[in-house]
Each structure stands twice: as C-alpha cells, then as structure tokens.
Structure 1
C-alpha cells in the first residue's frame, strides 16, 4: 500500500457559546482548523485534523499549519502509510520542528492504516479499556457571578467534572473559585487551570488562600522549575499541560516529581504516534493522564476518544468533547456523547464518515 494523494482543507469552526476566554485577556472565537485527506493506491482514505486555539495558547498558529502542510505532504507520496514510525521520521527529516504542522498528517496515516486493516483505531492503540470516558466541562474566565452560574448550570446538566479558568488577578480568582465551589454540590471534581498565567509568587498566594477548597491545580506557571517551586508548598494534586511538549519533557517532569498528572495535546506532541508513546510511558511511570488536543470538530474529537479509551482506566482522568463546542459539521456522524460520557463511533479507523462537501475546496492537493 502506498500513499497516492493528499488533500488539505481550511475550515473555520466558530464557537457555539461565543468567545472563549482565558487569563491575561486571551480570547478566541473559533478553532481555525486544517483537515487532511490521505488516500492510498487501494482507494482507502484516512482523515486527520489540527485546530489551534488562537495564536496564544500553544506553539502553533493557523497560518503556519496551512503553510507547512504543502511543504511536507509531497515527501509522503509513495510511502506506506502503515509504516507510522517511518512516516514520523521522514517528516522530521524533511521539515525540522513545528510538530503541530505534522499532527494532522500523522493522524490521517493512523486512520488510513486502521481502515485498511478494518479495525477501529482504538485496537491499534492498545485495545479498548472501557466503553466510555467521563467528560469535563470548562468554566471560562469571567465575572464571579457569571462563572458561578455557569458552573451551576453545567452540574445541573449532569456533569460532575469542572475545569475552572484562573490565572488572572489573584484576589479576583480566589473570589471566583470560592463562588464556583459554593455553587456546586460537594464532591464535584474541580480543576483550577491557570494556563501558565501566573508567577510562582501569584500561584502560591492563590494556593494558600484556597486551601479549604478541594481542587486539582493545573499548570499555574510556565516552566517546570516554576511549577516545581509551587508544588513544594502545595497540599493538592498538580497536573501539567503546557509543560508537556515531548517525551524528554515528560521524563523531566517525572524525574523532578513535578506533577501527579499530565494533559497530553495531540497537536502539541506532533500527532497520534508521539501522543501514544508518551501516554504509554507516562502510564507506566504512574501519572494520571488526560488525552485531548488544542481543538477541532468530529475528526479530532474522535482521535481524542480513541486515545482516551485505550488509556488504562485507572490512569485516565477525563476527556472533552470539542465537536460540541463548534457550530459547523464536518462529518455525517460524530463521537457519541451520552450524558456526561463520550464513546467512539462504530466502524474502522476513527469511525468518522467525513463529508468532503462540508469542507469546501481544498487549499492544497497533490497526487
């Protein structure tokens, strides 16, 4: 089997609930996605998706993806998409760095390989550990009463896991989290995610003032060293997200004892191949794990679900359903969400039946 053609589409995905707000005034009103279709000489097509959250969240930006895919894709023509490790090495050889650009191409090869084998992707990723994964919902940064009301509404819809955005003015965030915790039932799982928005001084202020609230602290500061300085005085679990950029960084986090859990973003790591590798090593090292991405619709959410459900259940934290965030559709089906849990679509590969007519005209095509 050889790769015969590659197409790339640009799909803007506006948010259902309006602008998405984080600390330091960072805001986005859509995912700006690149979707790729990789077709083999046997007529099988695999799909991949990469969608940054603005230009501020991760070391990725939409225009960079659209510029980079045409630089890499011609080198993949004629290669076996099932040789996934070799595909990864080839992309790293012809295009140094920029893993986010390679993510959709890598995902498309995984989807193609699983479809050619007539098995769901979860089987190739280690096997299905459970039927569904628990979802969390985000309480975005805003006014105190608005955040408390949103948290209360989310819990009323049946969700038991909240990620509360902090990382702004410390005193205001203390008030925000106190109000959210008071608005939801005891036992609701709360993650306070600063998205690397604080200095260690600010993070310690927040942690000290909120000791009586039960939550997990997520990425308060930028560097591993800064987060480690906060962890030394912390009496709560800590999860790192933005710090996990490679296998080497994950091993450094483990060596230093800097976190109890990790959030792995597919595009930040360069695709399914590296995400699976880091997930498996991290699980063996004892980390709790969330597998997700920087955004996307049905394709990317399906990849997240397959990776989540092949993660050992005792090591899995939770998942997120990004396809529910956006107003556009890219496929005739979607990852099934029932209540507060997500599963994977039936069928081989990702199980997603992409509708090319919904994607518009390709901005790049070769083959």
Structure 2
C-alpha cells in the first residue's frame, strides 16, 4: 500500500454548551479544526484530526499546524502507511518536533492500517479490554452556582465524571470545587483542573483548601517542577497533564511529582503511536490514565475511544468524547456515547465513515 494523495481540510467546531471558559481568561465558543485525509493506491482513505484550543493553551495553533503539514505531507507521498515506524522516521527526517501536525498523520495511518488488516484500531493496540468505559465532561469556569448547576444537569444525562475548570483566585476555586462536589452527591468523580493556571502560592492555598473534598487536582501549575512544590505536603491526589509530553516525563510524574495519574492528550504527545507507548508505561507503573485530546469532533473521538477501550479498566480514570461537546459531526455523530459511557467502533480502522460532503474543499492537496 502506498500513499498517493494527501488533503488538508479546515472546519469549525462550535461548543455545545455556550462558552468554554478556562483559567486566565481563556474562553471560546468555537475552535478551528484541521482534518487530514491520506489516500492510497488501493483506494482506501485514512483520516486524522488535530484541533488545538486556540494559540494560548499549548505551544501550537491552527496556523502553526497547517504550516507544518505543508512541509510534512509531500514527504509521505509514496510511503507505506501501514509501516508506522517507517512513517515516523520519515517525518522526523523532514522536521524535528511538530508533534501536533504529526499526530493527525499518525492517526490517519492507524486508520489505514486497521482497514488493511480488517481490524479495529483497539484490536491492534492490544485488544479490547472494555466494551464500554466512563467518559467525563468539562465544567466551564464560572460562579460556584453555575458550575454546580452544570454538574446537576449533566448528571441527569448519565455523566458521572466531571473536570472542573479552576485556576484563578484560590478562595473562589475552593468554593467552585465544594459546590460541584456537593452537586455530585458523593457519587461523581470530580477533577479540579487548573490547566497550569495557578502560581505556586495560589496552588498551595487552593489545594490545601480542597483537602476535605472528594476531588482530584489536575496540573496545578504550568510546569511539573512548580506543581511539585505547590503540591508538597498536600493530601489531594494529583494528576498531571500539559507538562507530560513523553515517556521520560512519565517517570517524573510518578517518582518526582508523586502523581497518581496522567492525562494523555493524543496530539500533545504526537499521536496514537506515542500515546499508546506512554499508556502502556503508565499501566506498568500502576498509575491512572485519562485519555483525550485538546478538542475535536468525530474523528478524534474515535481515535480516543480505541485507546480507552484497549486500556486496563483498573488503570483508566476517564476519557472524553469530544463529539458530545461539539458539532464536529463529520462522520454522522459516530461514535456516540450512551448514558455517560463510551465505546470504540468495531469496524476496521477508526471504524467510522467520514462524509467529505460535510466539508469544504481542501485547503491544501499534495500528490496525484
């Protein structure tokens, strides 16, 4: 099998609950997504997606990703997408880094590998260990009451896991966490996620103020080093996210930070290949794993679902189905969650059928 053509598509994903608000005044009602289609000489299409949270969340943006794709895509024409190791060596020979852009290509290659093998990606990642698994929803930063109301409303839809957006004034964040924990009724999993928004002092104050609550805290400060200092002598379980970008950092998360888990975002670590490698290491280290990405629609949701379904149940903290959060339904709103739980498609590859007519013309094409 050889790649003969590559297309890049632009699309906009609107947030389903109004305005998505995080720490530091970061807010949006929509994000700009990028879809990649790899076409082969055997007539198969593989799809990948990368949708960052603007340009102030992680060190990338739609513009940076697309610039990298214009450099990377001509180099994969003629490559065998089912030889993932070779594809990654090829991409790294064109440009170092640029993991966000490479993530979309990696996912598209996994889609083609699964189709070629006649197996879903979850089977190729080791096998399905969970026919279904818990998913979470993010609670946009707002007043304690508005956030508690969000938890109450989404619990009625079957959601039992919530990621609270915090990371501003400690007293306010403690009140937000308390209100949401109460709204969870002692049954919901509550993760207070600062997205690196606290400085060391505010992180210390906020986390110590949450010690009597049934919550986890995620990525209190921007760096692992600062998060370690802020979390020192604190009893709230710690999850790291944005500062963990490769396997070496996984060891830092456990042995230096004392974190009980890591949130793996596919595009942040460079795609399914590297995320699966880090997932396996986290399982070996007896740590908890959340599986998601920065944003997205049906394509990224399918990719996340395969990694989650092939993760040990005792190690999976939660996963996200971003197509529940957005209108990025380019594959007919598939896969779809049910009562707060998700499952991976069983058809080969990603297991979904992207409808190109739901997209505008490609913004970039290379190959035949």
Please say whether Structure 1 and Structure 2 have the same fold, judged by a TM-score greater than 0.5: yes
Could you report, residue by residue, the CA deviation over 1:320-364 in whole angstroms, capped at 9, with x for unpaired residues? Answer: 110112224211350131101001223110011000111110011
**Aligned partners of 1:57 and 1:316: how far apart in 2?**
24
Q: Which residue of 1 aligns with 2:343?
A: 343
1:20-71: per-residue Cα shift (whole Å, max 9, x none)? 1001101122121110111111111111000011111122201111211111
Contact 1:10 1:66 in 2 (8 A): no
- Cα shift at 1:252: 2.3
Question: 2: CA distance between counterparts of 1:67 and 1:241?
Answer: 26
Mapped contact 2:7–2:362 kept (Cα < 8 A): yes
Residue equivalent to 1:130: 130
Deviations 1:244-299 (A, max 9, x none): 11122222223314311000111011111111111111111111001110111000
Question: Which residue pairs with 1:222 in the alignment?
Answer: 222
Q: In the alignment, what sits opposite 1:289?
A: 289
CA displacement at 1:156 relative to structure 2: 2.4
Match of 1:226, SS?
helix
In structure 2, the residue matched to 1:140 is: 140
Rounded to whole Å, the distance in 1 between the matches of 2:328 and 2:293 is 18
> Which residue number corresponds to residue 47 of structure 2?
47
Give matches, 1:55-134, under 5 Å.
Answer: 55-134=55-134
Please give the alpha-carbon distance, in whole angstroms, between the structure 1 residues aligned to 2:175 and 2:306. Answer: 37
- The offset of 1:160, in angstroms, is 1.5
Q: Aligned partners of 2:83 and 2:198: how far apart in 1?
A: 42
Q: 1:73 to 1:169 in 2, by over 3 A?
A: same
Match of 1:31 in 2: 31
Quote the offset at 1:161 in angstroms. 1.2
**Paired residues of 1:9 and 1:36 also in contact (CA < 8 A):** yes
- 5 Å matches for 1:1-367? 1-367=1-367
Secondary structure of residue in 2 paired with 1:331: coil
Offset at residue 134 of structure 1 (A): 0.3
Segments of structure 1 that go 5 or more residues without pairing to the other structure are none
| Paired residue secondary structure (1:314) | coil
Comparing 224-233 and 62-71, the one that deviates more: 224-233
Between stretches 21-30 and 172-181, larger displacement belongs to 172-181
> Residue 117 and residue 95 in structure 1: after superposition, are their counterparts in 2 closer, same or farther (change >3 A)?
same
Q: Displacement of 1:183 after TM fit? A: 2.6
Measure the CA separation in 2 of the matches of 1:20 and 1:242.
18
8 Å CA contact 1:336–1:345 kept in 2: the answer is no
Secondary structure of the residue aligned to 2:320 is coil
Alpha-carbon offset, residue 236 of structure 1: 2.1
Query: For the Cα contact (< 8 Å) 2:36–2:108, is it kept in 1?
Result: yes
Unaligned runs of 5+ in 2: none
- Give the deviation of 1:120 after TM superposition: 0.5
DSSP 3-state at the match of 2:317: coil
8 Å Cα contact 1:59-1:268 kept in structure 2: no
Q: Tell me if the contact between 2:265 and 2:294 (Cα under 8 Å) persists in the aligned partners.
A: yes
The answer to whether the Cα contact below 8 Å between 2:267 and 2:293 also exists between their aligned partners in 1 is yes
SS at match of 2:222: coil
CA distance in 1, matches of 2:350, 2:328: 19
CA RMSD of aligned residues (A): 1.3
- Which SS does the other structure have where 1:8 is aligned? strand
